[in-house]
Amino acid sequence: MVTNKYDSIYQDIAAQIESGKLKKHTKLPSENELSEAYGTSRETIRKALNLLSQHGYIQKIKAKGSIVLDIGRFDFPVSGLTSFKEVAEKVGQQFHTTVHELYVMKPDSFLQNELKISAKEEVWKVARTREKDGERIILDKSFFVKKYVPGLTKEICEDSIYAYLEGDLNLNISFARKEITVEECTDEDRTYLDLNGYNHIVVVRNNVFLDNASLIEYTESRHRLDKFRFVDFARRSR
pLDDT of residue 172: 94
Convert the pLDDT of each residue in 184-238 to its tens digit.
999 999 999 999 888 889 899 999 999 999 999 999 999 988 777 776 655 565 5
Q: How far apart are CA 28 and CA 17, in angstroms?
A: 10
The residue-averaged pLDDT of 117-127 equals: 97
12 near 3, Cβ under 8 Å? no
**CATH 1.10.10.10 region(s) of the chain?**
5-68
Q: How far apart are CA 231 and CA 185, in angstroms?
A: 23
CATH architecture of 74-231: 3-Layer(aba) Sandwich (3.40)
Tell me which residue of 18, 9, 124 sits closest to 71, measured CA to CA.
Answer: 18
pTM above threshold 0.75: no
Convert the pLDDT of each residue in 141-191 to its tens digit.
999 999 999 999 999 999 999 999 999 999 999 999 999 998 999 999 999
Q: Which H/E stretch holds residue 208?
A: strand 200-210
* Higher-pLDDT residue of 237, 58: 58
Tell me which residue of 69, 198, 182 sits closest to 135, measured CA to CA.
Answer: 198
CATH architecture of 5-68: Orthogonal Bundle (1.10)
